[in-house]
Chains A and B, each alone.
Chain A
Amino acid sequence: MIVAEQKPLDEIRDLIADAGKVLVVGCGTCVTVCFAGGEKEAGILATSLRMASKLNGNAQDVTHLTVQRQCEWEYLDPIEEQIRQAEVVVSLGCGVGVQALAEHFPQAWVVPGLNTSFMGLPTEQGVWEERCAACGSCILGLTGGICPIARCAKQLLNGPCGGSQDGVCEVNAETPCAWQLIYDRLKAHDRLDLLMEIQPPKDWSTSRDGGPRRITREDLRLVAEQVE
């Protein structure tokens, strides 16, 4: 899932400072399950903004709603009227949700209420960890299902580096060394031979280095779009 956390209230207040009417839009998918931007968080943010603005002597009319998924047009159509009435829209979606709102409602001024952090999973209740960096060319098949792109601080393909100490990464004592994890797992599966093959430099053109990415599936496109 996409993992995010809420921006400090002061930063959000600055982003909406000149608005009288504000709409907070939560998202019912990834950011709901990481407790950053779901219905409950949208309610808490809207209430906090109302209270803070009143205390400041400049009461803002802040309401909130939540859509099932902010990153698809069809879920945004039903809130068109509420968006139109707001001077500023605070999106509690991930960065994709913010941009989907801005793109779908060009007349609306949309600001982010979250910092989108990473793609990861909850390793225990209340703790989320990064697992994938969307490099566009997955090598988990070589590394026993442990990603050195997202989990090794140096993104090494032929690790570990010399800083790996007792299973811990030299960059952060709280982070297990990804390459130690890879070694342990390959050993447990009797596949250490996978490590003997030296990996050539990764082709980063499928990742961010290749510029914005796009996937087109002709088999899924609507026939009307295909008419030349």
Chain B
Amino acid sequence: MSAADQVPLQIVAYCCHYCAYAAADLAGVLRLRYPGEPKIVELPCTGRLDVLEVLHAFEHGADGVMVAGCLEGDCHFQVGNLNARRRVAMVKDLLNQIGLEPERIEMFNMSSAMASQFAAAAEEMTARVRTLGPNPLREESVS
């Protein structure tokens, strides 16, 4: 393991109340194992996802952001997750222009019963961010 592998990663996981947050909860109840890097921020719906808040997360050193909402077509608020998907695409474009890897943010969809999918999403995002390495802005902002 190189030193870079040891650096603790910070991943912000924006999870909607009705599906992804419940799936994460269920993953805990089922004692599923998944990486501890994703720190969950509960949103009433991923439609509440705010581009500026996501950028601030990256500005202040988040290495990755995962956005997890209901399955497409099953949003508790009809289309909040579809709006979130487009905002994630917008953030990817912004990150690209700013000079950060767009892969640092991703959207996931799951129902409240899909605990293993939540764990798999957490695994995937953590592995991806581990490959990308720490956010280069982190050293600047966290002294």
Contacts and interface: CB of A to CB of B under 8 A. Distances in A.
A and B form one complex: yes
Interface residues on B, range: 10 to 19
A107 interface: no
A173 to B, nearest CB: 25
Contacts of B51: 40, 44
B55 A44 contact: yes
Contacts of A48: 55, 94, 97-98
B94 A44 contact: yes
A162 B2 CA distance: 71
Dominant SS among interface residues on chain B:
helix
Interface in B94-141: 94, 97-100, 136-137, 140
A56 B99 CA distance: 8
B52 interface: yes
A87 B56 CA distance: 24
B99 A50 contact: no
B136 A55 contact: yes
Contact of A40 (B52, B56, B98): B52
A9 B97 contact: yes
B137 A47 contact: no
A153 interface: no
B58 interface: yes
Contacts of A10: 97
Nearest to A39: B52
Contacts of B74: none
B55 A47 contact: yes
Contacts of B25: none
Interface string A132-159: 0000000000000000000000000000
A44 B56 CA distance: 9
Interface string B51-80: 110011011000000000000000000000
Given A48-B55, A55-B100, 6 more contacts: A8-B97, A40-B52, A44-B52, A48-B97, A51-B137, A52-B98
In the A-B complex, the 9 residue pairs with the closest CB atoms: A9-B97, A55-B99, A52-B98, A47-B55, A51-B98, A43-B52, A54-B140, A48-B98, A51-B59
